[in-house]
Amino acid sequence: RQQTDLQGKTVMITAGPTREPLDPVRYISNHSSGKMGYAMAAAAADAGANVILVSGPVSVPPPAGVNVVNVETAQQMFDAVMQHVQATDIFIATAAVADYRAKVLENNKIKKTGDELTLTFVKNPDILKEVAALPNAPFAVGFAAESQNLAHYAKSKLENKKLAMVAANDITTSGLGFNSDHNALHVFWENGDKQLGPAPKTQLARELLSLIDEKYKNKPSN
C-alpha cells in the first residue's frame, strides 16, 4: 500500500455511461466502458480511502471494498451524487454523462409509422459543474475527452466548471480511450500540467490518484 493522505478520506467517483430512456424498450447512451472510473475506484480503495462509486450500467466487475451505487439516468446519477456529496473530500467525475434526455418519455413503444422520426431532447444537469459550485465543494476532478485543441478545451473546462484538476485524453489516438484497456492523459491544474501514459488504465489510475493526492494536500483549505 502506497503512502498517501487519502487514508480515511471519502472519495466519490462517477463512472460509465448514463442511459436515457425514450420509451419502455429503448434508450440512448454512449460507448463508455467504465474502465477508467473503476480503475480509479480500485486505486483509491487501495490507498485506504472510503470510496463511493456512482456507476451507470457497465459490464466490468466492481472493485473490492468499494461502495457501489448503481444508477441508469443522468438525473439518477445527479441525485445519488448530491446525496453523498456533503461527506465527500474528493470528487472524481469519469462518467460519460448523456448531455441530453428525451423531453417526453413515451408510455408506450414508439411505432414505426412515418419515414422520419423527430424527438426533442432537453439538457441534463452538469453533475460535475454543480458539485464544484457548491459551498464547501469537494476537491473536484474532471475528465475531458477531446478530438482537437486538447489543451485549450481542457483549460477552459478547468475554469468554466471551477475544477481543481482536469484530465484530458485525445479520443482520436487509436488503441487508447473509450473501450480500450489503455489510455494517455494530459492533466491540467491552475498553474501546471503533466502528461501520464500511455499506460494500462490500472497503472494510469494509480498515477493520476497520486497526482490528485499531491495537489489535494497542498490545497490551503485542507
Residue in 142, 168, 177, 208 binding ligand C5P, rule: CB under 6 A = 142
CB burial string 38-66: b at 16+ within 10 A, e below: bbbbbbbbbbbbbbbbbbbebeeebbeeb
CB neighbours of residue 162 within 10 Å:
14
Burial (0-12, 13-18, 19+ Cβ within 10 Å), 206: buried
CB 21 within 8 A of CB 27: yes
Residue in 46, 72, 126, 213 binding ligand C5P, rule: CB under 6 A = 126
CB 93 within 8 A of CB 81: no
Cα–Cα nearest to 194, from 202, 180, 182, 184: 184
126 marked ligand binding residue: yes
Does 93 engage in binding with ligand C5P (CB under 6 A)? yes
CB 29 within 8 A of CB 18: yes
Does 91 engage in binding with ligand C5P (CB under 6 A)? no
Residue in 22, 74, 164, 187 binding ligand C5P, rule: CB under 6 A = 74
103 marked ligand binding residue: no
Does 154 engage in binding with ligand C5P (CB under 6 A)? no
Does 15 engage in binding with ligand C5P (CB under 6 A)? no
115 marked ligand binding residue: no
Which of these ranges, 23-31, 95-103, 174-182, 203-211, lies near ligand C5P under the rule CB under 6 A?
95-103
Q: What whole-number distance in Å separates Cα of residue 22 and Cα of residue 198? A: 37
Interface with ligand C5P in residues 29-68 (CB under 6 A) = none
46 marked ligand binding residue: no
Residue in 54, 95, 168, 176 binding ligand C5P, rule: CB under 6 A = 95
Does 124 engage in binding with ligand C5P (CB under 6 A)? yes
Residues that are catalytic: 30
Interface residues with ligand C5P (CB under 6 A) are 14, 74, 93-95, 97, 99, 124, 126-128, 142-144, 157
